[in-house]
Structure 1
Amino acid sequence: MIESKIKVLRKAAQVSTTQSSDKIWCVIAGNEEMVNNVAYAAISSKERVKILFREHVNLKESYVRKKFDFIMLYGDTHKIRELSLICKENGGSYIKIAPYYVEKEPNLLLLVAPDTSIKKLAGDAEKANIKFSFILEDKTTGFIETDVYLTDRLPQFVRKIVDPLFKMTDVILSTILISVPGEDIEKIKQVANDNKVFVVEFNKILEDE
């Protein structure tokens, strides 16, 4: 069931996300350096694009800390395209959200997390009979940063062996846009919290603009 939803998602993603709009939203996620580059380019073109928010996320799992950044932009379609190219050239993930999706899909939620966490959320939501629809998806082609945060309790000679092993962990980041019926929003937000998935309610972004 999950795989079939992902196939539908990917098919939907092939549809133009701009829909001939002059302005669109864009979410870019990946390592801190890449997002810094995107933010700098956005600030340099502030008359054409604006930064709605930026988050730096640290997720602790067992002995490993997974670190990534994501940023949400709104502005000129052509400038957003330039910024998305910076993202892809540096192994990041992005999704572009056109007014078409805002008008057609109710209660949009943006999810950002390691790919394994997103798949666990989808599985848990299915088991709990929580209704949702995939709209857009993208994954990083480069790996996000990981490090070990509990090895200071270990002897130094053990840390020298363990640190490189954990830091070589390959972690792919996923950025997902889903649509959720109103009655299931709080339920899926709880499932996301349980799986350490970062959630943004897109409707609230619109209210703040």
Structure 2
Amino acid sequence: MLLKRHLKNCEYECGTDEAGRGCIAGPVTAAAVILPESFKNKILRDSKKLSLKNRSSLREIVENESSTYGVSHIFMETIDEINILNASILAMHKSIEQLKVLPEHIIVDGNRFKPFNNIPHECIIKGDDKYLSIAAASILAKTYRDEYMEKIHEEFPMYNWKQNKGYPTKEHREAIRKFGITKYHRKSFRLLPEQLELNFNSIPHQTIP
């Protein structure tokens, strides 16, 4: 299924999406992409519906063939301070700021956004499976975030972030129960079902001071 090239008939329409909103560890990551009119791809769609191999190859295609793109991480301390929704929107804004061309219009995956530089925008539910630029942004956001989680996995392998990418799997929650939290965990999230009955202040050096 070929996705639509744009929503508005303009040369510089930007698609933006985020990854990691539902995680309990690691950053929330967003990307913004402007694609040229000539761009076509038969397999590009929502990154969650693609294999690792396809995501990797599509990342290279998007980076090489897009008119411009930006990627931004918003880290745990900021997520805890301003909440995950605001952090997700902030990540999108910061990725748009990196674009070499000012967008004429912004299309956003999901239903929440805040105006950016008075540029018209539209939120689109499941937009990453409808529009090429949002799908391209979803590819970049997911692959860049996965890459980050695989990197910090080496520092704390007991949480298996290489596999779960920071999502609250049973294995991840059991590791928190056993080892406590790290500087990469989102302290404002419900990390364990019983609202973290363990005392974070008593956890050894891994805990954020």
TM range (shorter): under 0.3
Whose strand fraction is larger, Structure 1's or Structure 2's? Answer: 1
TM-score by length of 2: 0.26
TM-score by length of 1: 0.26
